[in-house]
Structure 1
Amino acid sequence: MGRETPSPQQVSLTVEELLAVNPYNPDILPDLENYANEQVASQTYSLDANLCLLRHYQFEPERMNIQIVIRILVKALMALPAPDFNLCLFLVPERVQMEEQIKTLIVLSHFLETARFQQFWDEAAKNRHILDAVPGFEQAIQAYAVHVLSLTYQKVPRSILAEAVNIEGLVLDRFVEFHVANSGWSVEAKGRGQFVVFPASEFNHPELKKNTSEGVPLEHVAKIFPLLG
């Protein structure tokens, strides 16, 4: 019988074991690269493994695989609002950051972090060759856009939601219906328009804020302004 192919779970466990035993062993670099590719194929994610690989590339720049670095950065973008993209980018040498595809990802990251979703989707459309190589990218960014809107607003016009998630028409109808059924959204008609109402939280309903000295995180406030422009 032929050798049994390990499942993604087995590959993940092996990599985690390697990281636990000796993360600085240069011999594990091929395993880390294989695991980075496996994350793309299986739509899984390990920030620790990817950071470890980027550190190895710092010590052995001649072994760096630019395409794997790009995939790691795309996966990190998909993890927003976690700061994974900046953590990974910090480990990428400046000369590599000048690569055209990585410069594009830095621009896309800036648009997302400042909630300029229309500019993000316009730029993303010009660079499908980078993003389409990583399954699930569009859905991850749509989830992040919804996260930002729901933190910032009690309700938004359907047109604002459509712009943020880059879908419209019947596809947007199904998107809204899904979240009404699963995320606590509701739909409110006002005049000839339609609004999507988000569940109340301490961020979009200040009166629910707990009586503590903590305020709304600055990054949440900063994201309001581009949407109001």
Structure 2
Amino acid sequence: MGREREVQKHPISYTVEQLISVNPYNPDILPDLENYVNEQVSSQTYSLDANLCLLRLYQFEPERMSIQIVARILVKALMAMPAPDFSLCLFLIPERVQMEEQFKTLIVLSHYLETARFRQFWDEAAKNRSIVEVVPGFEQAIQAYAIHVLSLTYQKVPRSVLAEAINIEGLSLDKFLEHQIANAGWIIEKGHGRGQLITLPRNEFNQPELKKSTADSIPLEHVTRIFPILS
């Protein structure tokens, strides 16, 4: 019974979603939302709705804004790419705050990811570890995004391109490839060193013939309706 009373006294995190749905503009929920951001970081979970709600409340209560919390929200948003979460969050952050050095860095990192300039991204991230490494899982999330981008572009990707995109080389890359072969259907073609080719699983983007295009197949009845208009 004592344990039950303790749980009721300290509501678990899902009640934050209830708070948002009931009264998203109540500044009294600010501490709950800030704690929820920290919980997302520690538990490697993510709630865009809760984070956007917090940023909106900061707009009404600018003196209560936590720069540390805002930075963590943006890092989590970067980790959600290719979703447009970073831009959605940035839109709610005042320009004067965006001009702070750590936010300018995060904006640059976002630009590198959006333009698939992964080498520049990893170099910039390495120079700003204090900003990104406070959020566990950051590197793995960006690697997953890089692989997603490669899979949209390549049927076969050179080992050197993959290594640059995910920032892994040598034996670590060998172990990573072994895992992908066993679990994700990757195939390593014969070859050695940087010239090795990796065949990625087929999808509608790297194998266009797999995509069933409705735009190219107009039903006959639609065509017959057009003829009277043209005549």
Larger Rg: 2
C-alpha separation in 1, matches of 2:44 and 2:12: 14
Matched, 1:24 2:25: yes
RMSD: 1.8
Q: Which residue of 1 aligns with 2:156?
A: 155
Q: Tell me the distance in 2 between the aligned counterparts of 1:130 and 1:18.
A: 29
TM-score (norm 2): 0.87
Look up the equivalent residue of 2:37 and give its one-letter code: A
TM-score for both structures, normalised by structure 1: 0.88
| 1:190 shift after superposition | 4.3
How far off is 1:112 after superposition? 0.3
Equivalence for 1:182: 183
Residue by residue over 1:18-68, the C-alpha shift from the partner in whole angstroms, topping out at 9 and shown as x without a partner, is 011111111001100010111001111000000000000011111100010
Matching of residues 70-219 of structure 1 within 5 Å: 70-190=71-191, 193-213=195-215
| Structure 1 consecutive aligned stretches of length 4 or more whose deviation exceeds 2 Å | 1-6, 190-193, 211-214
Structure 2: which amino acid aligns with 1:156?
A: V
Indicate the percent of aligned positions where both proteins have the same amino acid: 75
Residue of structure 2 in register with 1:14 after alignment:
15
Specify whether residues 27 and 190 from structure 1 end up closer, same or farther in structure 2 by C-alpha distance, changes over 3 A only.
Answer: same
**Structure 2: tracts of 5 or more residues without a match:** 217-231
Q: Tell me the distance in 1 between the aligned counterparts of 2:180 and 2:215.
A: 33
Equivalent AA in structure 1 for residue 181 of structure 2: V
Q: CA deviation at 1:212?
A: 2.3
For residue 184 of structure 1, report the CA deviation from its aligned partner: 1.2
Structure with higher RCO (Cα < 8 A, 6+ apart): 1
Letter aligned with residue 196 of structure 2: Q
Q: CA deviation at 1:170?
A: 1.0
Could you tell me which residue of structure 1 aligns to residue 59 of structure 2? Answer: 58
Which whole-Å CA distance do the structure 2 matches of 1:191 and 1:137 have between them? Answer: 30
